[in-house]
Amino acid sequence: MSELMAAVRKDLLLQWRTRAQAVAVFVFGASALLLFSFASGPAAELLRSQAGGFLWLGLMLCSTLALADSFQSETEQHALEALLLLPASARALYYGKALANWLQLALLGVALVPMMVVLYDAGTTNVVALVGVILLGSAGLSAPGTLYAGMTAQTRARQTLLPLLLFPLVVPVLVSAVKATSLVLSGDPMGQAGGWASLLLAFDAIYWSLCGLLFPKVVEE
Amino acid sequence: MSDTVQDVSPPAGTRANRRGRWFAIGAVAVAAVSLGVITAGGIGKNLVYYWGPTELHAAGDKAVGATIRLGGLVAPGSLKRPAAGSGLEFDVIDRPGARVHVRSTGVPPQMFRENIGVVVEGTMNRAGHFDSNRLMVSHSNEYRAPGDDPRVDVKALMKTTSGLEPETKKP
Amino acid sequence: MSLDDRVRPSSGPLPYALGAFGVALLLAGSYWGLFRAPRETFMGDVQRIMYIHVPTAWNAMLALTFAFGCALLSLWRGGWKWDARLEGALEVGVVLSALLCMQGSIWAKPTWGVWWDWDPRLTTTAVLVFAFAGILALRRLVDDPVRRATWSAVATIIAFVDVPIVYFSVKWWNSLHQLQSSPATVSSAFHLPLRVNAFGILFLMCGLIALRSRGAALRLRGELAPPPVSVVSPLGTAAALMALQAPAAEMTGQIRGGWEFVWAAYAVSAAILIGYSVSVHLRYRQERARQVREGTEAGA
C-alpha cells in the first residue's frame, strides 16, 4: 500500500513538474473541438445534439498524447528496470501511474467543458452528473491506456501503436460516455443516464483489475 | 544462454508471491462479476426502454420537446400517406387501449405495415401529436420456408417489440 | 518462455488434408444452399447468403476464442508452440472476421436498404477486426521474440475480454436505431446446408491455422537458434482487406434483393478464402526454403 502511495506521489509530482505539457495537450483538445464545429457547419441544432460526442472525441485524441507522455521519464532515464525488483513493485507502478493519468484526463475533460458550452451551445445545470460521467469515462480510458502506454513506450513505433491498440478497445467507453453526456445535457426525461453510467462502471471495474493483473508481464525482462 | 536470462520472480511462498496470488484471484473475480453484470444484469432493459402510449400521456408536459421513444402496435386502419411529399401518419396503440397519433418523416423500412410492432423516436408536439424522425419496425425473429405455419401472431409481434430479448441462439 | 526453449514445427500433410476436406464440404453445402434449399417466405433468395454468412460467424469467433486460449497458455504455461499457434489463430480470425463484415454488408444492402446499419453483431465484428489487426501490427513491430510473445498474448486477452462488452454496449446503443435482429428460430428446411457449411469452414479453418502456425514456428526457430538471423516474414496483405462504410444509399423502402447479392457474397467469400489459403501456403513454402538455405550455410 505504501508502495502505491509512493508511486502515486511520484507520478503526480512528475505531472506537476511537466504541467506545461499538460497545457499544450489541453490546447490540442480545444483546437480539436473547434475543428469539429467547423466540420459540422453552423447548424446550431446539430452542434447541440452532437456536443457530447465531440467532447469525448476531443478527450480521446488528447489521451493519446497524455498517455504516451506518462511513461516518458521511465523510458528516457531507463528507470523502468530499476523500479522492477519485485512483481509487487510493478503493480504499484501501474496503479500509481493509472491513477495519475486518470486525474490528468479527468481534469482535461472538465477543462474542455467550457469550450463545449461556448462552441456548441450545450450546457446543463446538472454539473455533478456531468463531472461524474467525465470521471467514469476517463477512468475507462486510463486503465487500458496506461497498460498499452507502458508496452508501446518500449517499442519503436510508439506514436502509432498506442492509438491503434487502444481505440478499438475503448469503443464501449466512447459509446457509453457520449450517450450519458448527451442525456445529461438534454435533461434525460426517460432517466436513462444511470444505465450508461453503470456500463461505464462495470467497464472500469473489469479493466482496472485485469490490466493491473497483466501489467507485470508487460514490463518484466 | 540460460545463465544470462534472469528469473526475476521471487521464490514461491514468499509474502510477495502470496500477495500476488490473492491479487490475481481478486482481480479475476472482480472482472468476472462485472462482466456478468453487463451481460445478465438489468442494465440493458432500462436503456432499450420505450414508453407506450399510456406512459406518454401520463408524462404529459415532460414529454413535449424532449427526445422520447414511443412503442406499440400500428393501429389497423390508421395508416395514411399524405398525397404531397414523403412521410406517414398513423396511430400507435397499446394493450390498455391508449392511442397516440404519429407523424413520421422519412421513409419507412420495407416491412412497415399496419398491425406491426413499431418504435418511433421523436418528440411530442404541443398540438398533441408525436413528431418522429426515426421509425423502426420489429422484425419477427423467425425465418420461415413455404409450408411452415403462415399465421401471423399479433401477440408474438408485440413481444418482439418489448425490448431486445437476450439472444437465444448463436448467430 | 525463454530463449532456451526449443521450437519444434510440425510436419506432414495434415493441414492440407483438413483444408481439402473442408473445401469439399463447403462446395457440397453451398450447392445445396444455393440450388436445392427452398426460398424464405419474407426475404426471398437473398436469405441464401445465410448459408455462408452464419458459418463464417461461428468460425471467426471460434478462431478468436482459440487465440484467447493460446494467449493464456502462452503466458502461463510457456512454450513457443503456443505463441506460434496464437499467431496463426489471430491471423485466421482477423481474415474470417473481415470476410464476415463484407458478407454482412452485402446482405444488408437488399434487406435493410443500406450497406451498413449498425447491427450490433456487424458493428462488433468491425471493432473486432480493428482490435485484432492491431495486435497483428504489434507483432510485426516488435523484434524481440520473447517480448513479442508476451505482449501479443496480453493484448489478445484484453481484446478478447472486450468482445462481449463491445457487443452489449453497441447493442444498447443501437437499440435506438434498429429492432431487427438475426433469426432466433430457423426452419428445419434450412438446417442441412447450414450445418454442412459450418463444418466445411471449420475444417478449412483448422487446416489454415495449423499451416500458418507451422510457418510461424519455422520462423521462430530461425529467430531463436544460432546463427542469429533477423527474420520477420512478411505477413502479407490478407489481413488488410476490409470493406467498411461505402456511402450509405437512400432507403427507398422498395429494394428487393436478388441473386446478384447472393452471387456477390459467395464470390467474395470464395475469393478471400482461396486467396488467403494460397497466401498461407506460399508463405510457408518461403519459410521452409529459407530454413533450408540457412541450415546449409551454417553447416550441420
The CA distance from B137 to the nearest CA of chain A, in Å, is: 21
Inform me whether the C-beta atom of residue C179 falls under 8 Å from chain B C-beta atoms. yes
Is C154 inside any structural domain? Answer: yes
Alpha carbon dihedral B89, B94, B97, B100, in 10-degree steps, equals -30
Judge whether B132 and B63 are in contact, CB under 8 Å. no
Going A60 to A66 to A70 to A76, the CA torsion angle's sign is: positive
Within 8 A by CB and 6+ apart from B90, the residues are: B74, B75, B78, B79, B80, B101, B102, B104, B114
Residue of B nearest to A219 (CA): B8
Dist. CA B135–CA B108, nearest whole Å: 6
Judge whether C189 and C41 are in contact, CB under 8 Å. no
Looking at this protein, which amino acid is placed at residue C212? R
Residue identified by cell 508476451 is C150
Does residue B123 sit in helix, strand or coil?
strand
pTM of the model: 0.80
- For residue A212, what are the domain limits? 2-219
For testing contact with chain C, the best of A164, A182, A190 (most C CBs within 10 A): A164
Judge whether C90 and C62 are in contact, CB under 8 Å. no
Cell of C244: 467498411
Long-range contacts of C249-254 (CB under 8 A, 24+ apart): C249/C109, C249/C113, C249/C114, C249/C115, C250/B107, C250/C113, C251/B107, C251/B109, C251/C112, C251/C113, C251/C114, C252/B107, C252/C113, C253/B107, C253/B108, C253/B109, C253/B110, C253/B112, C253/C113, C254/B110
C224-268 residue pLDDT tens: 876 544 444 344 333 333 333 233 333 333 345 578 888 888 899
Q: What ipTM does this complex have? A: 0.90
- Please report, for chain B, the start and end positions of each structural domain, with discontinuous segments joined by +: 10-43, 50-140+152-161
Dist. CA C37–CA C33, nearest whole Å: 5
Is C10 inside any structural domain? Answer: no
Q: Give C-chain residues touching B142 at CB under 8 angstroms.
A: 183-185, 187
Per-residue tens of pLDDT for chain C, all 300 residues: 666 677 888 888 888 899 999 999 988 888 888 888 777 766 677 778 888 898 999 999 999 999 999 999 999 898 899 999 999 999 999 999 999 999 988 888 877 677 887 778 888 999 999 999 999 999 999 888 999 999 999 999 999 999 999 988 888 887 655 554 455 456 667 788 888 899 999 999 999 999 999 999 988 888 887 654 444 434 433 333 333 323 333 333 334 557 888 888 889 999 999 999 999 999 999 988 988 887 754 444
User: DSSP letters along B65-99, please?
Assistant: TS-EEEEEEEPTT--B--SSSS-EEEEEE-TT--E
User: DSSP letters along A49-68, please?
Assistant: HHHHHHHHHHHHHHHHHHHH
Is C6 inside any structural domain? Answer: no
The CA distance from A218 to the nearest CA of chain C, in Å, is: 6
Q: Give C-chain residues touching A203 at CB under 8 angstroms.
A: 165
Judge whether C152 and C86 are in contact, CB under 8 Å. yes
Please tell me which of the candidates A190, A205, A212 has its beta carbon nearest to residue B68: A190
User: DSSP letters along C68-101, please?
Assistant: HHHHHHHHHT--HHHHHHHHHHHHHHHHHHHHHH
Dist. CA C222–CA C295, nearest whole Å: 9
The CA distance from C151 to the nearest CA of chain A, in Å, is: 6
C9-45 residue pLDDT tens: 888 888 889 999 999 998 888 888 888 877 776 667 7
Judge whether B141 and C181 are in contact, CB under 8 Å. yes
Q: Tally the domains of chain C.
A: 1
Neighbours of C259 (CB within 10 A): 12
Dist. CA B23–CA B20, nearest whole Å: 5
Residue of A nearest to C165 (CA): A172
Q: Do C141 and A179 touch (CB under 8 A)?
A: no
Q: Give A-chain residues touching B7 at CB under 8 angstroms.
A: none
Residue of B nearest to A195 (CA): B43
Distance of CA C60 to the CA centre of its chain: 5
CATH class of B50-140+152-161: mainly beta
Cell of C291: 530454413
Dist. CA C244–CA A167, nearest whole Å: 17
Within 8 A by CB and 6+ apart from A78, the residues are: none
Looking at this protein, which amino acid is placed at residue B170? K
Q: Tally the domains of chain A.
A: 1
Dist. CA A7–CA A95, nearest whole Å: 8
